[in-house]
Structures are given as C-alpha cells and as structure tokens.
C-alpha cells in the first residue's frame, strides 16, 4: 500500500523537480570550501522551447542563451508565460518540446525563491534555512551554515525565532538565506518582492544585488516591476505572448540610481514595447 503512498501529493503539486536540483547536491564540506569564490554560475541554453497547457500554448518556441553569472530579469504582462518559463528552467514543469541545457550539464544546484516566503511555520528560522542544505553534512555544521547565511541577509540572532514572529520582509530574507545557503549556481526568483511594501522592497533589491555580486550565481528574476528589472539586471527580457519580444542589455554602472536619464530611457523602451507603442509616441 505504501508503495504508491505520496502519489497523491506528487500529482497534486505538479511534477517533482528535475534530477539536477535534487540528486546532484555537492557534499556540504565541498560547498563551504569552494563557495566564497565568484563566478561559478551556470550558463543556460534554451532551444525551441514549447509548453502547452490543455492544448493552450503558453511558451511558443523560445530560444535563449544566458551566460554564466548573468543577472537576467524577465518582465511581461500577467499571463504572458514568464512564470512558466522560470518553472520550466527549474524543472518544476516539463517542456512539451524543445530543450533546456546548462543547469544539469554543469551539475550545479538551482534554487527557487517563490512569491511567498513558504517557510515551515513549525520549524525555527535556522531550521528553515537548513532545509536548503538537505541532508548534507552533520546537524551542527548545517546549523552553523544556516546561521551564517542568516547573518548575510541581516538576520543575526534570529535563528531560534519562529517564522510567525517575523515581519513579511524578514520572512522573505529567511527564504533568501534558505536559497543561498547551499550556494546555488542558478537562482530563480519569481516576483519575490511583489508582496512587500515599497521601502522594504528597495532594501531587499539592494540585498539581492549584493549577494549576487558576492556569490556570482546566475540569476533569473521574474518581475512585473520594470524599474526593479532595470535596477538589478544585466539584461531585461520582455516576454509577450509566449515569445521574447525584447532582449535589452542594461549597461548602467552599479549601484544604479533610479531617475537618471539613462535609467529612464531604458525604462521607457521596455514600457513602450510592453504596451505596443512605436518609437516616437510617448505615453
């Protein structure tokens, strides 16, 4: 009877992630030694990607190359398929056709940050972060790494707190620590700051940029906030109707300041494409 146990849970929550995110975890000791060095992001190569749900195409033949360590922001109207693209890359969905190479080939780990923190309410903050390490290493070494990751996101000394007592921004920081504690080569962020208030958002954006610069993973950020995309990303992809409508390099020096003319010009380019305006017409 127990042979098929969990099948319900499995089918109810989509497919299990691709092997690369689970089975190939590098032993913890190795991770801590190699971790601080930069530039170990994984490169990604997508060819002819198609995904249909119930005959309804969501991704319609998409080609994309992401060099290692690049910060890519994916923007688009809701329902354009940007979240689906992210889930496909992480192996949370299987492509209808086409291929995604890179994450698995390099044997790196990929981590996903959801829109909600998705912390286990019955585990302490440190234990929640330790979820990111799976079973690698001993209990004490996992706890040590978790506390270190927590201090990196500015949550020193909150390791033994319950998630219920944290604020929304703090919870999302814990989720960030959980994703980063295993030093992933690819970090996928699905509108992770969408539920936060404006001020917390800006400080979180700074935090995401800083850890990305420190750790050098490849980052793919799905967002509906164009200015957030331009503030953080090396490259902004605009997805429209299941295809890439705009592939824009953002060549501004970091840390970026909103409101500069160059920033505003890029923002306008993206918004104009998003709403279908031709070159000269302004909003």
Partner 1 sequence: MKRLGPLAGWILPAAILVIWEFLSRIGFIPENVLPAPSAVAAAFWRVLVSGELAQNISVSFWRASMGFLIGGSIGFLFGLANGLSRFSETLTDTTLQMVRNVPHLALIPLVILWFGIDESAKLFLVALGVFFPIYINTLHGIRTVDPQLVEMGRTYGMNNWDLFRRVILPGALPSIFVGLRFGLGIMWLTLIVAETISASSGIGYMAMQAREFMMTDVVVLSIIIYALLGKLADAVARLLERYTLAWNPAFQSR
Contact letters for partner 1, residues 32-51 (x by CB under 8 A): --------------------
Q: How many CB atoms lie within 10 A of CB 99?
A: 11
Q: What angle do CA 117, 119, 122 make, to 5 degrees?
A: 155
Contact 49, 237 (CB under 8 A): no
134 touches partner 1 by CB under 8 A: yes
Residue 114 Cβ, how far from partner 1 at the closest point, in Å?
Answer: 7
Cα separation, 82 vs 187, whole angstroms:
15
Contact 237, 63 (CB under 8 A): no
Contact 166, 215 (CB under 8 A): no
139 touches partner 1 by CB under 8 A: no
6 touches partner 1 by CB under 8 A: yes
Contact letters for partner 1, residues 167-186 (x by CB under 8 A): -----------x--------
Cα separation, 107 vs 33, whole angstroms:
17
Name which of residues 72 to 111 contact partner 1 (CB under 8 A). 90, 92, 111
Contact 17, 130 (CB under 8 A): no
Contact 212, 219 (CB under 8 A): yes
Residue 188 Cβ, how far from partner 1 at the closest point, in Å?
Answer: 9
129 touches partner 1 by CB under 8 A: no
Choose the binding region for partner 1 from 54-62, 65-73, 117-125, 211-219 (rule: CB under 8 A). Answer: 117-125
Among 106, 116, 194, 195, binds partner 1 (CB under 8 A): 116
SS3 of residue 57 by DSSP: strand
Rounded to a whole number of angstroms, the distance between the first and last alpha carbons of the chain is 62
Among 50, 64, 123, 195, binds partner 1 (CB under 8 A): 123
Residue 136 Cβ, how far from partner 1 at the closest point, in Å?
Answer: 10
Residue 280 Cβ, how far from partner 1 at the closest point, in Å?
Answer: 45
Q: How many CB atoms lie within 10 A of CB 9?
A: 8
Among 39, 121, 259, 261, binds partner 1 (CB under 8 A): 121
**Which residues of the chain form contacts with partner 1 (CB under 8 A)?**
1-2, 4-9, 11-14, 16-17, 21-23, 25, 90, 92, 111-112, 114, 116, 118, 120-123, 131-132, 134-135, 162-165, 178
């Amino acid at each position: 009877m127990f042979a098929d146990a969990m099948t319900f849970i499995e089918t109810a929550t989509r497919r299990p992630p691709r092997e690369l995110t689970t089975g190939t975890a590098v032993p913890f000791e190795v991770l801590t030694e190699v971790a601080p060095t930069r530039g170990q992001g994984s490169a990604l190569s997508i060819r002819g990607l198609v995904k249909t749900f119930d005959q309804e195409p969501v991704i319609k033949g998409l080609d994309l190359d992401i060099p290692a360590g690049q910060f890519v922001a994916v923007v688009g109207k809701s329902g354009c398929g940007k979240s689906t693209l992210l889930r496909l890359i992480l192996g949370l969905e299987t492509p209808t056709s086409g291929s995604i190479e890179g994450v698995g080939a390099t044997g790196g780990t990929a981590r996903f940050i959801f829109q909600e923190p998705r912390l286990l309410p019955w585990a302490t903050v440190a234990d929640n972060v330790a979820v990111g390490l799976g079973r690698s290493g001993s209990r004490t070494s996992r706890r040590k790494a978790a506390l270190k990751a927590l201090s990196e996101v500015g949550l020193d000394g909150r390791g033994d707190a319950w998630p219920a007592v944290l604020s929304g921004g703090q919870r999302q920081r814990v989720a960030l620590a959980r994703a980063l504690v295993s030093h992933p080569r690819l970090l996928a962020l699905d509108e992770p700051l969408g539920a936060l208030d404006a001020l917390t958002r800006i400080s979180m954006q700074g935090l995401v940029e800083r850890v990305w610069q420190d750790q050098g993973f490849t980052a793919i950020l799905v967002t509906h906030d164009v200015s957030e995309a331009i503030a953080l990303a090396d490259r902004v992809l605009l997805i429209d109707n299941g295809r890439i409508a705009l592939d824009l390099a953002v060549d501004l020096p970091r840390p970026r300041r909103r409101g500069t003319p160059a920033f505003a010009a890029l923002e306008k380019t993206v918004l104009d494409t998003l709403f279908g305006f031709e070159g000269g017409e302004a909003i």
